[in-house]
Structure 1
């Protein structure tokens, strides 16, 4: 019987910024290690990835769960709406885990595993850890940002009280074996009831990792190795504390291939690669986007909130546009707004454009011009690596990918964080000196659509932009960009994977 190929499964859930960097690593790994069958498991909402990955011989499998499930920000979480959301989340989680199990069984259930088999997960795919344990497969963590959550303050004392033997097992672990540092750094959620009941009832594993499913006693005779954790950011940007586990490795930012970032196929075809191997596109976009190209040549200020709208934070798109209009009325700036496919925002833009006296001329279907040509709203996408060096400032939500792209471009930033690691990146960019103080949410997305709220938001935003355009911030941003340009995070990640797997 012919021996099957080893399999590398990349399991990544969450928004585009959570998933696409792992997809880039999967593609690079497939190109580097052709003896592997490489697969990506993610949400069906990211199905456009399958086209790009197919070119790299990476198979895509999808689950039906949404990238984000959010309760209405205006509802009382203790009321009826909150209860309904809780039930919906419980149902989606149950179905999501069943689909994940079905896919892993389909991939690895066809015979005995190989030493080279592995599952690579991000922090929103923790079910992959238990599935790897169930199928006796090595598990590796890869994340484009620092852990977006931390253990409760009482976690260690509670753990020590309720699981004294397991606590001793982890505290006394030999070098190279899973220890308390691993748990407190990222693994602690695996010890909560949220995972324990699923592990026990569905996977027939012990509710607590590293314990015997029958006796509940730690597996002293079988200590697993400390797992490799790869981070996709630069050491020049994020400090790496000595208390992190020894198997935590920092690669550099995981930038996506340029061809993945065009919504316009004709623009994508202009993609070229220079002799040094760096990716870039010509200054000319396709004929349908010449006006977009001309607008960008005016060095506009970029504004993009990525998935923030779809996550329920952009309640009043009209108020948001009014803030931008007010800033433009008191400054000589020009804005390019990426609407990120958020329908309520795009509908608002078209409604305002229809009422405006400014004449649209020769714009493509995905471009709408407002404010007498000072504000361009673009519903498509072009690579940030091409766009940001042509912008004066990048205003964004603090996502890891957008932050990294602005750093690489050497362009000053203004950040308005909303959740999770976005607050970390906002504060970190301020500390590095590449952005002014982070904006509060209501200074970009006012809670009230009244003149006072709009004027105050526009005033604060204008001041933030002015601060970002200072000579000090611009010089610091350029300095950081020159440093990051020398790094290749994806190649480093492939190197670490190969070392972990013993591949030449």
Structure 2
């Protein structure tokens, strides 16, 4: 690679992130922060077209948005809609696995096309790089193709682990390569890197793509000498920089992690990115201290009154499951609402439910609202089209979005899916939590919250979102949920949540990631 922009050309940085909101948006925040800090760079962000709402925010930070057509979640129903528009309108039905394979091929073609557009016309320079999350491993292979550095950035620890037989099979299949990694000098790629996360780069699904489409060796780190046809193992690659977007106060860095792994602190989005209402954004983002005070726009005065009204004797409890519905886990939205109703009927708690715009849940909310007329002080307050009151005005349903940093300090506790973003926001707000994990790293975060003493034992899925809405299932779920809420609101858990929030307050995760990136990657 050439020097650092010696020909006067702007260095290039590609940020590539795939997955749902919590997987993608923190990486976008890093891209925006980097672009504003390093204005000599040409910065692009590659992600799903479903995250189109990022484009304006990124453009404001001089980041070019490049959308790929693959969906963030490959749920069976989504695949049918993508392939056909509707099942009834098609004579033939493609299997889930076949359609998934087709989407994967198209996805990789689009990734190659975009990265080639960025790096393909000019030789790379030392300061060019690609940043990927763990669901964008295409970027690693493309970085090798275009001879640029690759950095990994993740708002959570590795969301998947190697198969138990991986090391044994790797050693049997590639004994010399295994020895090469085991004997690696300090700060070069070694078996610790492979075992921690890089094992996924060696799976068969990548080999054919590398060989057939990228003209690379099917196995990483086995480039052959053109004369001897032997692997160039005397060339030792530097251990790749790995940036983690969580706090050392919450996750202690194990000694067996690669030395190149850096724990930066939680990565929060710019506040302006977190509003569905432009008027609320204008009011709150102009506030001197928006995390604790602020006035919503007139259309959302009902939400503000529900949160801050003097007529209420207690704070509401937040409930939100983010992308869980779109991932296929919220199969019976009515049952979910009935569980909340059962808790309300046996307590004096109030709740605020964020539906995250999940259409089946919003439909269930509208159905319940239309069948039971409400009467309360808030009835006279005109609610916006994204707000609905249920169950004697003790459940406020909101399909829009507003920053958790503003919302959570006005809540008594947060019930959520243990996603990294919700977890971090509640920790910073210093409120108790009730976690109900569904997949991947959510189980870790849920257990971690309990271990830290800021949450009771994690809920099982059926105790928050049962699949059936018979009376027995609803009552059983409500009993367990109520017990978890009461435990979360105990003086001990509330005090511990406050203590941890004080320890986290000085952290600036995005700023620390930016400093590390500049120190480790940029030219001096």
Q: Tell me the TM-score normalised to structure 2 length.
A: 0.92
**1:211, 1:100 → 2: CA distance?**
23
The CA deviation at 1:83 is 7.8
Q: Deviations over 1:407-465 (max 9, x none)?
A: 00001000000000000000000000000000000000112210000000000000000
Q: Which residue of 2 aligns with 1:76?
A: none
- The root-mean-square deviation of aligned C-alpha atoms, in Å, is 1.8
Matches within 5 A, 1:61-100: 61-71=66-76, 84-100=95-111
Q: Which residue of 2 aligns with 1:366?
A: 386
SS of the residue 1:295 aligns to: helix
1:433 paired to 2:453: yes
Q: Which residue of 2 aligns with 1:209?
A: 220
1:8 paired to 2:37: no
1:125 paired to 2:136: yes
1:346 paired to 2:381: no
Q: Which residue of 2 aligns with 1:77?
A: none
**1:184, 1:386 → 2: CA distance?**
40
The answer as to whether partners of 2:413 and 2:432 remain within 8 angstroms in 1 is yes
1:185 paired to 2:196: yes
Q: 1:266 aligns with which of 279, 293, 297?
A: 279
The CA deviation at 1:157 is 1.1
**Which 5+ residue runs of structure 1 have no aligned equivalent?**
74-80
Matches within 5 A, 1:132-211: 132-211=143-222
The CA deviation at 1:296 is 1.0
1:415 paired to 2:435: yes
SS of the residue 1:141 aligns to: strand
The CA deviation at 1:492 is 0.3
SS of the residue 1:195 aligns to: helix
Q: Which residue of 2 aligns with 1:78?
A: none
Q: Which residue of 1 aligns with 2:298?
A: 287
SS of the residue 1:368 aligns to: strand
Q: Which residue of 1 aligns with 2:37?
A: 32
The CA deviation at 1:175 is 1.1
Q: 1:226 aligns with which of 227, 233, 239?
A: 239
Q: Deviations over 1:381-405 (max 9, x none)?
A: 1000110111111000010000000
SS of the residue 2:180 aligns to: helix
Q: In the superposition, relative to structure 1, how do residues 273 and 175 fare at CA in structure 2: closer, same or farther (>3 Å)? A: farther
Q: Which residue of 2 aligns with 1:469?
A: 489
The answer as to whether partners of 2:427 and 2:501 remain within 8 angstroms in 1 is yes
The answer as to whether partners of 2:284 and 2:294 remain within 8 angstroms in 1 is no
Q: Which residue of 1 aligns with 2:425?
A: 405
**2:118, 2:435 → 1: CA distance?**
41
**2:483, 2:76 → 1: CA distance?**
33
Aligned residues: 495
SS of the residue 1:428 aligns to: helix
Q: 1:317 aligns with which of 333, 343, 365?
A: 333
Q: Which residue of 1 aligns with 2:85?
A: none
The answer as to whether partners of 2:126 and 2:523 remain within 8 angstroms in 1 is no
